[in-house]
Structure 1
Amino acid sequence: MKPGMRLVAAACFGVFSMAALIADGASPALRAPVFGPRPRFLFTREELDAWRADPAKSNELAQIAARAEALLSARRAVPDREGQWIFYYACPADGARLRPESPLAHRCPVCGKMYTDERTVAAWRTLVFNELDSEVRDMGIAYGLTGDERFAARAREILLRLAALYPSFERHDRWGRTGLLAVVGGRRYSQLLDEACGVIQLAAGYDLAAPAACFSDGDRRLIEEKLLRLIARETGLFQHFIDERCNHQTWFNAAYAAVGLVTGDEELMREAICGSRGLMFQLASSVTDDGLWYEGAIAYHFYALSAIQTTLDAARRAGWDFSSNGRLKSLWEGPSKISYPDGSLPVFHDSDRASLANYRSFFEWAGRYFKDPVLAAMGRGDFASEDRKPSAVLADTGIAVLRRNSGKDAVCAMMDWGKHGGAHGHPDKLNMVLYALGRELALDPGRISYSVPEYRTWCRTTAAHNTVVVNGADQDENDGALLHFEETGSFVSCLAAADRAYPGLRLSRWLLLTDGWLLDVFAVEGRKSSEIDLLFHCRG
Structure 2
Amino acid sequence: MLALTLVASAAALTATPALAAERPEDAAAVAAQETYPTLFAEEMARAETFVDAMMAEGITVPVPRDPGGGYTHEQHKRNYRAMLLAGQLYELTGEQRYFAFVRDMLLEYAELYPTLGDHPARANQNVGRLFWQVLNDAMWMVHAVQAYETIRDDLTAAERQRIDDDVFRRAADFLSVESEATFNRIHNHATWATAGVGMTGYLLGDEELVQKALYGTAGDGEAGFLRQTELLFSPDGYYTEGPYYQRFALLPFMVFAGAIDRNQPDLEIFEYRDGILEKALLTTIQLTYDGYFFPFNDAIRDKSLNTAELYEGVAIGYAVTENPALLDIARFQGRTVISQAGLEMTRALDAGRAEPFPFRSLLFTDGPEGDQGAVAVLRDGTGPEHLAVVIKNASQGMGHGHFDKLSWQLYNRGEEIVRDYGAARFLNIEAKEGGRYLPENETWAKQTVAHNALVVNERSHFYGDRDLADLSAPTQLAFEAGEAFQYSAASIDDAYPQDGVAMTRVLALVEVEGLSQPVTLDVLRAEGQRNATFDLPLHYSGHIMRLGFDPARNVAERPVLGSGHGYEHIWVDGRATPDAAGSFMTWILDGRFYTYRFVPTQGMEVILGESGANDPNFNLRREPLAIQRVDGVQAATFVSLLESHGLYDGAAEQTVESDSQIAALRHHRQGAYDLVTIETLAGEEVAVAISWDADPNATHSATFEGREITWQGYAARVVLTGGE
TM-score when scaled to structure 2?
A: 0.57
* 2:242 is aligned with 1:271: no
Alpha-carbon offset, residue 529 of structure 1: 4.2
**Is this contact kept in 2: 1:204–1:262, CA < 8 A?**
no
Using the alignment, how far apart are the partners of 2:386 and 2:82 within structure 1?
A: 46
Aligned to 2:454: 468
Give the 3-state SS of the residue equivalent to 1:417 in structure 2: strand
Aligned to 1:309: 254
* 2:243 is aligned with 1:298: yes
Question: Relative to 1, partners in 2 of residues 1:252 and 1:157: Cα closer, same or farther, differing over 3 Å?
Answer: same
Using the alignment, how far apart are the partners of 1:159 and 1:356 within structure 2?
A: 31
Counterpart residue type for residue 422 of structure 2: G
Alpha-carbon offset, residue 353 of structure 1: 4.4
Using the alignment, how far apart are the partners of 1:346 and 1:332 within structure 2?
A: 15
Using the alignment, how far apart are the partners of 1:438 and 1:60 within structure 2?
A: 28
Which one of 47, 54, 65 corresponds to residue 71 of structure 1? 54
Aligned to 1:54: 34
Alpha-carbon offset, residue 463 of structure 1: 1.9
* 2:145 is aligned with 1:197: no
Using the alignment, how far apart are the partners of 1:452 and 1:269 within structure 2?
A: 37
**Is this contact kept in 2: 1:486–1:494, CA < 8 A?**
yes
**Is this contact kept in 2: 1:403–1:410, CA < 8 A?**
no
Aligned to 1:401: 376
User: Aligned ranges for residues 205-284 of structure 1 at < 5 Å?
Assistant: 205-212=147-154, 215-242=155-182, 244-275=185-216, 276=221, 277-284=223-230
Aligned to 1:392: 363
Alpha-carbon offset, residue 229 of structure 1: 1.3
Larger % of strand: which? 2
Alpha-carbon offset, residue 489 of structure 1: 6.0
**Is this contact kept in 1: 2:281–2:313, CA < 8 A?**
yes
**Is this contact kept in 2: 1:61–1:145, CA < 8 A?**
no
Give the 3-state SS of the residue equivalent to 1:535 in structure 2: strand
Higher-Rg member (1/2): 2
Alpha-carbon offset, residue 231 of structure 1: 0.7
The answer to which of 140-149 and 460-469 deviates more is 140-149
Question: Relative to 1, partners in 2 of residues 1:147 and 1:482: Cα closer, same or farther, differing over 3 Å?
Answer: closer
* 2:326 is aligned with 1:364: no
Aligned to 1:330: 279
Question: Relative to 1, partners in 2 of residues 1:83 and 1:51: Cα closer, same or farther, differing over 3 Å?
Answer: farther
Alpha-carbon offset, residue 237 of structure 1: 1.1
Aligned to 1:85: 67
Counterpart residue type for residue 126 of structure 1: H
**Is this contact kept in 1: 2:4–2:199, CA < 8 A?**
no
* 2:231 is aligned with 1:285: yes
**Is this contact kept in 2: 1:400–1:494, CA < 8 A?**
no
What per-residue deviation string (whole Å, max 9, x for no partner) do you get for residues 119-150 of structure 1?
A: xxxx4212122222233334434444444444
**Is this contact kept in 2: 1:364–1:380, CA < 8 A?**
no
Aligned to 1:500: 494
Using the alignment, how far apart are the partners of 1:124 and 1:196 within structure 2?
A: 19
Question: Relative to 1, partners in 2 of residues 1:149 and 1:428: Cα closer, same or farther, differing over 3 Å?
Answer: same
The answer to which of 400-409 and 467-476 deviates more is 400-409
Using the alignment, how far apart are the partners of 1:69 and 1:482 within structure 2?
A: 53
Using the alignment, how far apart are the partners of 2:50 and 2:390 within structure 1?
A: 45
Aligned to 2:640: none
Which one of 388, 391, 414 corresponds to residue 415 of structure 1? 391
Question: Relative to 1, partners in 2 of residues 1:355 and 1:383: Cα closer, same or farther, differing over 3 Å?
Answer: farther
Using the alignment, how far apart are the partners of 1:146 and 1:286 within structure 2?
A: 39
Question: Relative to 1, partners in 2 of residues 1:273 and 1:441: Cα closer, same or farther, differing over 3 Å?
Answer: same
Give the 3-state SS of the residue equivalent to 1:494 in structure 2: strand
Question: Relative to 1, partners in 2 of residues 1:45 and 1:174: Cα closer, same or farther, differing over 3 Å?
Answer: farther
* 2:505 is aligned with 1:509: yes
Using the alignment, how far apart are the partners of 2:481 and 2:103 within structure 1?
A: 62
Using the alignment, how far apart are the partners of 1:47 and 1:533 within structure 2?
A: 67
Give the 3-state SS of the residue equivalent to 2:495 in structure 1: coil
Gaps of 5+ in 2: 7-18, 333-353, 427-435, 463-468, 512-517, 543-724
Give the 3-state SS of the residue equivalent to 1:289 in structure 2: coil
Alpha-carbon offset, residue 176 of structure 1: 4.9
What per-residue deviation string (whole Å, max 9, x for no partner) do you get for residues 366-406 of structure 1?
A: 1211233344444444684545x345363636335363643
Using the alignment, how far apart are the partners of 1:490 and 1:66 within structure 2?
A: 52
**Is this contact kept in 2: 1:402–1:493, CA < 8 A?**
no
Question: Relative to 1, partners in 2 of residues 1:40 and 1:332: Cα closer, same or farther, differing over 3 Å?
Answer: closer
Using the alignment, how far apart are the partners of 2:286 and 2:322 within structure 1?
A: 20
Aligned-pair identity in percent equals 25
**Is this contact kept in 1: 2:122–2:133, CA < 8 A?**
no
Give the 3-state SS of the residue equivalent to 2:74 in structure 1: helix
Which one of 524, 527, 542 corresponds to residue 525 of structure 1? 527
**Is this contact kept in 1: 2:507–2:523, CA < 8 A?**
yes
Gaps of 5+ in 1: 1-35, 90-122
Aligned to 1:107: none
**Is this contact kept in 2: 1:431–1:465, CA < 8 A?**
yes
The answer to which of 200-209 and 396-405 deviates more is 396-405
Using the alignment, how far apart are the partners of 1:210 and 1:147 within structure 2?
A: 14
Alpha-carbon offset, residue 336 of structure 1: 4.8
Give the 3-state SS of the residue equivalent to 2:539 in structure 1: coil
Larger % of helix: which? 1
Alpha-carbon offset, residue 234 of structure 1: 1.9
Question: Relative to 1, partners in 2 of residues 1:195 and 1:526: Cα closer, same or farther, differing over 3 Å?
Answer: same
Q: With CA pairs under 8 Å and 6+ residues apart, which has the higher RCO, 1 or 2?
A: 1
Aligned to 1:458: 444
Question: Relative to 1, partners in 2 of residues 1:380 and 1:143: Cα closer, same or farther, differing over 3 Å?
Answer: closer
RMSD of aligned alpha carbons = 3.2
What per-residue deviation string (whole Å, max 9, x for no partner) do you get for residues 427-467 of structure 1?
A: 11111112345643212112232343443333222222111
Aligned to 1:115: none
Aligned to 2:637: none
Question: Relative to 1, partners in 2 of residues 1:220 and 1:354: Cα closer, same or farther, differing over 3 Å?
Answer: closer
Using the alignment, how far apart are the partners of 2:169 and 2:324 within structure 1?
A: 39
Counterpart residue type for residue 317 of structure 2: A
Counterpart residue type for residue 460 of structure 1: K
**Is this contact kept in 1: 2:380–2:386, CA < 8 A?**
yes
Using the alignment, how far apart are the partners of 1:64 and 1:508 within structure 2?
A: 52
Aligned to 1:164: 111
Using the alignment, how far apart are the partners of 1:246 and 1:203 within structure 2?
A: 21
**Is this contact kept in 2: 1:469–1:534, CA < 8 A?**
yes
**Is this contact kept in 2: 1:271–1:278, CA < 8 A?**
yes
Give the 3-state SS of the residue equivalent to 1:126 in structure 2: helix
What per-residue deviation string (whole Å, max 9, x for no partner) do you get for residues 338-371 of structure 1?
A: 445x565422212234555764653332121123
User: Aligned ranges for residues 91-130 of structure 1 at < 5 Å?
Assistant: 123-130=70-77
Question: Relative to 1, partners in 2 of residues 1:174 and 1:356: Cα closer, same or farther, differing over 3 Å?
Answer: same
Using the alignment, how far apart are the partners of 1:40 and 1:487 within structure 2?
A: 42
What per-residue deviation string (whole Å, max 9, x for no partner) do you get for residues 165-200 of structure 1?
A: 2122112475558xxxx8x32222222211111122
What per-residue deviation string (whole Å, max 9, x for no partner) do you get for residues 50-106 of structure 1?
A: 4453133777666655544432321143223x34431xx3xxxxxxxxxxxxxxxxx
**Is this contact kept in 1: 2:504–2:525, CA < 8 A?**
yes
Alpha-carbon offset, residue 258 of structure 1: 2.2
Using the alignment, how far apart are the partners of 2:97 and 2:450 within structure 1?
A: 54
* 2:295 is aligned with 1:347: yes
The aligned length equals 458
